[in-house]
Structure 1
Amino acid sequence: MPRIPQAFIDELLARADIVDLVGSRVTLKKQGREYSACCPFHAEKTPSFFVSPQKQFYHCFGCGAHGTAISFLMEYDNLDFIEAVEELARRAGMEVPRENGPGHQDTQKLQRLIAAQEAAANHFSENLRRHPEAINYLRQRGLSGEIARDYRLGFATDARDHLIRALSGSFDEQELLNAGLTSRGDSGPPHDRFRGRIMFPIRDNRGRVVGFGARLLGSGKPKYLNTPETPVFHKGQILYGLYEARKASPRLEELLVVEGYMDVIALAQFGLRNAVATLGTSTTRDHLERLFRVVQRLVFCFDGDRAGHEAGWRALEQALPLMRDGRQIRFLFLQEGEDPDTMVRREGPERLHECIRQSRPLSDVLMEGLRDRHDISSREGRAALGAEASRLIRDMPEGLLRAQIINELAQLAGVTAEQFEHGMGQRETDSREEPARTPQPPRPAPIARRQRLEITPVRLALSVLLDQPSLARELGDTTWLGKLNTPGVQTLAQVLETLGQHPHLTTAGILERWRDSETGRHLLKLAQWRPPPSEEDSVPQLLQDALKRLRQQYLQQRTEDLLARASRAALTDDEKAELKTLLASKG
């Protein structure tokens, strides 16, 4: 990863307004010196999510989510660190500088790949305007110019090297191959991958084109063609239409997951701009995690034939480990041979809305699917059902939904809930030969269960400094802290040294300097501290008191050290004078 200069991150966080950033995605309400909202990272009815403009920091007392503006973009928009910094810089009108380092050339290559995709999207868009046959096709499908514009639809001509000739002045042959825009056979020069097709640019979370879907305009095979896997395009992770859905409605509550680009486009034409599509692949865990970062309610729409039901079951299997309380998934199986595109054109959007309202919850689909797959009239069939059910739900998060499902599964299997859970635990122990499952990160414990940190002078001093970093300017010499032997004091010394070198550093700037470290995780916890309203004026005194207690510990430690050394050997004159002063101060 190329190194972004620390000074730039400090300046970026100093300019960023976390209230404005979070408020663009979540409805905030002023509450004292902070802002509150229902947490965007877990389902709740009573606001426990707070944003501090003073600290440039957010924290949820319900699920424990916390961090800086960079962290919020990473979590809410599902960005990596570099992408979050770039997005924050874009909002601030700043250009991200980079220092050469490990991975710098790789990042430049990725940027070139994305630049090639953007250039290709512009080329295809211009082509669409020049080719009436492509425009007529879209009109016959009922699409307007507005939809074509919003989704950046385009057209690839049937010429063998039309795109190559258009982009050859900006990108070399290998770059176009690496971007998946061209292909090469066993012999001969490269040729355009997409020819004679309507082009559907596929955009990432920031709206950058990273690949394409393409539909053949005439007859032939394959009807649909995607960009192959590239360093910036992974079919198992990206969803068509997700960027456009979020852009159309920043306060999305529900997403409709369909199977094709034309379904997404057709629904958008009829005003349903909350549809996304997987790219010719089954729904993956990565897909679901990205979707649940945006909304808490999903509706999967499948054909009503056997293939559609099998696809729905695969999606259910992927979803169960992510189904914590508050999240909802429903399934809509259309009539056989029908898809959202044809249905909305023939019967209108209200009929589809009605079908969505009548869609079935994941738990119902799970129960019916298990009953259909096993003969519950026999003991053996009920045991087999229990075995499959155990496999499906063993990674499901603890909660009310899981408990309800277990109770009903136990009834189907003809056992008590306790027996079912006991058997599930045994099967998990005996499943060493099963493929390894992707471990899920631990969920934050409810706030009532979390262990309270003991208030020590070090923690109090750090909490105050994270609340008001400017107080460090008034402390004078604190280098003696580096000689004190007590837990956490080295972190305090490092924070004070950093604030001495960068006196205008914000709370967010401090936290970002220790990102992804054990020290950083400790500082994040301490940054949640807020002084009681009645004691806000006494916060500077709290810092002074904490340092006074640490100073007393240091003097006691230094006295004991000198006395121990004097018992072993003669002290120097300076040491004798220091010891005399220390003993006198104690008397």
Structure 2
Amino acid sequence: MPRFTPEFLDELKSRLRPSDVIGRHVKLKKRGNAWWGLSPFKPEKTPSFSVDDRRGTYHCFSTQNHGDIITFLIETQGMTFPEAVERLAADAGMTLPTESPEEAARAEKAKGLAEACGAAAKFFSAMLHRSDGRAAMDYLRGREITDAQIETFSIGFAPAGRHALKDYLLNKGFTDEVLVEAGLVIKPDDGGASYDRFRNRIMFPILGARDRVIAFGGRALDPNARAKYLNSPETPLFHKGSVLYNFANARAASAEEKAPLVVCEGYMDVIALWGAGIKRGVAPLGTALTEDQLAMLWRSSDEPVLCFDGDSAGINAAHRSIDRALPMLKPGASLNFAFLPEGQDPDDLIRAEGAGAMKAVLEKARPLVNVLWDREINAQSLDTPERRAKFRTKLRELVKSIADKDVRGAYGAELSQRLEAQFKPPQQERSASGGAGPRYGGQNPFRQGGKKGQGFRFAAPARPTPGLKRPSQWVREASLILAAINHPALIERAESAFLELEITDPGLKSLLSEVLAAISADPALDSPSLKSHLSQTGAAGALERVTQDSQLSKHNFLRPDAEIDEVEQGFKNALAHHLFESTLKQEVARSASQIFTDGDDAWKAAAAAREEIVNSSKREDDDADNGDSPKRFEDALERMKQTVEKKYSR
């Protein structure tokens, strides 16, 4: 017996993408559904070497060399067959089989089990077309199943008797032990005689490698049966979490049609899709998609479509699939989601409205990121700062769960942009007739919480240092971003502040977006690594200007070697100064000029505060050494804060 059984080699090749294996030796570029590169077999200037992940093969049009990943290593790397298999097995995380007598016996037993399942499939197929199968055939006709579908999927019928299949297979030379281990008959625990597992059921053979029958699914005809659908138990041949119904045929159809695999719930849905001309349907076997099944899908289809009922149960199933898939996402490998009309599965929709209706549903499939965003944003109300903070935290945790660094970074950037758009404060001016002024998205700008990770309480602006008394808007904005670049740990302490930060300079705005995306993708990123990453992005120019600016370098809290507590306090003051200069000062001016009611105490207080602020600012410029000036400035600011807060509370 050969050391590497066909089953082992099939499993090995199913676990590895040819483009990944061959791409280590040939530079490949994706074109359509295939990868192309220069021939490894002869010099050439125009790519003629093609790799097809869906078929698991390569083909060189200039030399006609053709094969799989094993033959590629043999032909291009000079390996022997065992060496190539051992190398690939290590890549796939598979243990090499041994040549022990036990292994030989196990392989022989598996062969016997597969032969028994194949014989059972022929028996069930024959029974469907006999008198015993008339009710089953009537049921299939009622579901509009054609002869072509019955033949393609080898649909059969298990008679109601307790020993019909058992007696047939025993007469064919199979032992009772083999039938029990293959899951075809049941041996009672009390030692009684074995009996058929499947009785009075429409039978769907489940195929494994090389189109061998490895198990069955049975649909009960008796409406009172305890289980409507019954699958074979786990056997040496069959592990239901590693098998997809109709996978081999669907994979070939997907490659031919250049369209993604379609994942639906059950056997009848797959068969109905085939009848509607969509021959790339597969189904898990009574469970939610497993990691092994997702890996199978991605080896054949970059973005398979998961098809769910549009009711709450279907949506919940889609959400479970997202949670399972998210950590496994790879560049180019994701999922799309198609939701059917509520209460209908593919079989129902096709029979009711035709193939066109089903195809229309598939064409509207939505990317995983969209369904994920909708799930999270609709999970609860976001009308308070605490709920919005919880929302952001949940998104950050989901991003962190993605194992691939590149995909994690892309999701961090995408969700950061959506957050920014979702919570961007509306910029609405008060109308001339006295409408409401700017509301900052309904949030009071003075109430930002003081706990770690929840933003900062508004602090009085720090007194400007000599040479930077009246910083420009660019300097104010740049100082806030540079603090995060030099000390990425600050972002965790001030997450809300950074997410809600309004930046007007386009270059700085792009730089902040790249910073937040990088930290979302890798929270442990240190400053040198962050700067290295930023230098490779479109914000590289803004990064260089910020890190080289002479005014910014004068601030202690912006030094790369500053302690994080000093950085945090400096950031608080810089943020307060920025908010005051860019937003709150203008708000007071609008209040003083637009609220014109002689008896309105709020107007008088606002006007007085505005005047005191202007005077305090002038006194700072004229008398920087006056010790009372900062105190008067802070007092004026405090009165202004109280006035604006009073108006926002109305």
Range class of TM-score, shorter chain: 0.5 to 0.7
**Partner in structure 1 of residue 562 of structure 2:** none
What one-letter code is carried by the residue in structure 2 that aligns with 1:122? K
Structure 2 contact 408–521 (Cα < 8 Å) conserved: no
| Structure 2 counterpart of 1:323, one-letter code | L
Match of 2:378, SS state, is helix
Q: 3-state SS of the aligned residue for 2:160?
A: coil
Contact 1:257/1:276 (<8 A) preserved:
yes
**Paired position in structure 2 for 1:350:** 356
**Offset at residue 122 of structure 1 (A):** 1.1
Given that residues 29 and 37 in structure 1 are in contact (C-alpha distance below 8 angstroms), is that contact kept between their aligned partners in structure 2? yes
Stretch deviating more after TM superposition (384-393 or 171-180) = 384-393
Q: Which residue is 1:119 aligned to?
A: 119
In structure 2, give the amino acid aligned to 1:135. Answer: M
| Residue type of the alignment partner of 1:260 | G
1:123-145: CA deviation from partner (whole Å, max 9, x where unpaired): 11111121222222212211111
Contact 1:258 1:275 (8 Å CA) reproduced: yes
Work out whether residues 202 and 220 of structure 2, in 8 Å CA contact, stay in contact via their aligned partners in 1: yes
Structure 2 CA distance for partners of 1:295 and 1:180, relative to 1, 3 Å = same
Task: Report Cα offsets for 1:4-30 as digits up to 9, x if no partner.
Answer: 59xxx9xxxxxxxx9xxx9xx969899
- How many residue pairs get aligned? The number is 391
Residues of 2 paired with 1:36 and 1:358: CA distance? 35
Equivalent of 2:188 in 185, 196, 199:
185
Contact 1:194 / 1:214 at 8 angstroms: preserved in 2? yes
CA contact (8 A) 1:214 1:224 kept: yes
Which residue in the other structure is 1:278 paired with?
A: 284
Residues 286-326 of structure 1: CA deviation (Å, up to 9, x unaligned)? 11110111111211111112111111011112222332232
For CA contacts below 8 A with separation 6 or more, give which structure has more relative contact order. 1
The one-letter code matched in structure 1 to 2:104 is: H
Query: Which consecutive segments of 4 or more residues in structure 1 shift more than 6 A?
Result: 25-30, 47-59, 65-72, 78-83
Structure 1 residues 101, 107: closer, same or farther in 2, change over 3 A? same
Which residue matches 2:594?
Answer: none
What is the CA distance between 1:186 and its match in structure 2? 4.0
Task: Kindly state the Cα deviation for residue 272 of structure 1 after the two structures are TM-superposed.
Answer: 1.0
For residue 373 of structure 1, what is the aligned residue in structure 2? 379
3-state secondary structure, aligned to 1:199 = strand
Which residue of 2 is the match for residue 387 of structure 1? 393
Do structure 1's residue 33 and structure 2's residue 36 form an aligned pair? no
Question: Where does residue 234 of structure 1 map in the other structure?
Answer: 239
| 1:329-478 matched pairs, under 5 angstroms | 329-396=335-402, 398=404, 402-411=408-417, 412=419, 415=499, 418-419=515-516, 422=519, 425=522
Q: Which moved more, 1:280-289 or 1:408-417?
A: 408-417
Q: 1:143 aligns with which of 142, 145, 155?
A: 145
Match of 1:465 in 2: none
Matches within 5 A, 1:254-265: 254-265=260-271
Taking the aligned partners of 2:341 and 2:66, their CA distance within structure 1 comes to: 54
Quick check: 2:409–2:518 contact (8 Å CA) kept in 1? no
Residues 1:317 and 2:323 aligned together? yes
- 2:109 maps to 109
- State the distance in 1 between where 2:324 and 2:186 align: 33
- Judged with a 3 Å threshold, the aligned counterparts in structure 2 of structure 1 residues 55 and 238 are, in CA distance, closer, same or farther, namely closer
Per-residue deviation, 1:379? 3.1
Q: Is the 8 A contact 1:36 1:50 kept in 2?
A: yes
Cα deviation digits, residues 384-411 of structure 1 (max 9, x gap): 3333333333243557654342124335
Closer, same or farther: CA 331–426 of 1 in aligned 2, 3 Å: same
- Cα deviations by residue, 1:68-113 (Å, 9 ceiling, x for unpaired): 99979x99xx999999x9xxxxxxxxxxxx9664511111122222
CA distance in 2, matches of 1:282, 1:333: 16
Contact 1:150 1:244 survives alignment (8 Å)? no
Distance between the aligned counterparts of 1:272 and 1:168, measured in 2?
A: 39
1-structure distance, mates of 2:388, 2:59 = 44
TM superposition shift of 1:41 = 4.7
CA shift in 2, pair 1:274/1:424, >3 Å: closer
Q: Which of these residues, 195, 205, 222, is aligned with residue 227 of structure 2?
A: 222
Q: Percent identity?
A: 34
1:305 aligns with 2:285: no
> What secondary structure does 2:129 align onto?
helix
The match for 1:134 is 136
- 1:203 is displaced (CA, Å) by 0.5
Match in the other structure for 2:536: none
Measured against aligned partners, the alpha-carbon deviations of 1:200-222 in whole angstroms (never above 9, x if no partner) come to 00111321111111101231231
Residue 270 of structure 1: how far off its partner (Å): 1.6
Please give the per-residue CA displacement for 1:156-204, whole angstroms capped at 9, x wherever unaligned: 0000111110111322222211111112334331111100000000111
Deviation at 1:36, TM superposition (A): 3.3
Instruction: Look up the match of 1:246.
Output: 251
Structure 1: distance between partners of 2:174 and 2:369: 51
- Rg bigger for which structure? 2
Contact preservation (8 Å) 1:386, 1:420: no
Contact kept? 2:35, 2:52, Cα under 8 Å: no
Given that 1:302 and 1:332 are in contact with CA atoms closer than 8 Å, whether structure 2 keeps it comes out as yes
CA distance in 2, matches of 1:228, 1:269: 29
Q: What pairs up with 1:21-100 in 2 under 5 angstroms? A: 33=42, 36-37=48-49, 39-41=51-53
CA distance in 2, matches of 1:296, 1:350: 24
Q: Which residue of 1 aligns with 2:537?
A: none
Instruction: Give the structure-2-normalised TM-score.
Output: 0.53
For the 8 Å contact 1:238–1:278, the answer to whether it is kept is yes
**Given that residues 250 and 280 in structure 2 are in contact (C-alpha distance below 8 angstroms), is that contact kept between their aligned partners in structure 1?**
yes
Q: 1:224 & 1:299 partners in 2: Cα distance?
A: 24
Work out whether residues 57 and 69 of structure 1, in 8 Å CA contact, stay in contact via their aligned partners in 2: no
Q: What are structure 2's unaligned runs of at least 5 residues? A: 10-17, 23-32, 421-495, 500-511, 526-650
The secondary structure found in structure 1 opposite 2:233 is coil
Give the letter for the 2:335 counterpart: I
- SS of match in other structure, 1:243: helix
Deviations 1:474-531 (CA, angstroms, capped at 9, x unpaired): xxxxxxxxxxxxxxxxxxxxxxxxxxxxxxxxxxxxxxxxxxxxxxxxxxxxxxxxxx
CA-to-aligned-CA distance 1:235-287 (integer Å, 9 cap, x gap): 11100011222344543531110001000011111211111001110011111
Q: Normalising by structure 1, report the TM-score.
A: 0.58
Task: Quote the Cα distance in structure 2 between the aligned partners of 1:81 and 1:404.
Answer: 31
Unaligned runs of 5+ in 1: 10-17, 86-97, 429-587
Q: Partner of 1:455 in structure 2?
A: none
Contact 1:184 1:190 in 2 (8 A): yes
Alpha-carbon distance in structure 2 between the residues aligned to 1:333 and 1:57? 37
* Cα pair 2:399 2:521 within 8 Å, conserved: no
Contact 1:299 1:330 in 2 (8 A): yes
Residue in structure 2 matching 1:206, options 187, 190, 210: 210
Structure-2 change in CA distance of 1:376 and 1:420 (3 Å): farther
- Give the whole-Å Cα distance in 2 for the aligned partners of 1:27 and 1:421: 30
Farther-moved stretch of structure 1 (121-130 vs 28-37): 28-37
Tell me the residue number matched to 2:569.
none
> Partners in 2 of 1:351 and 1:262 — Cα distance?
17
- Classify 1:186/1:405 alpha carbon distance in 2 versus 1 (closer, same or farther; 3 Å): same
Cα displacement string for residues 447-500 of structure 1 (whole angstroms, at most 9, x for unaligned residues)? xxxxxxxxxxxxxxxxxxxxxxxxxxxxxxxxxxxxxxxxxxxxxxxxxxxxxx
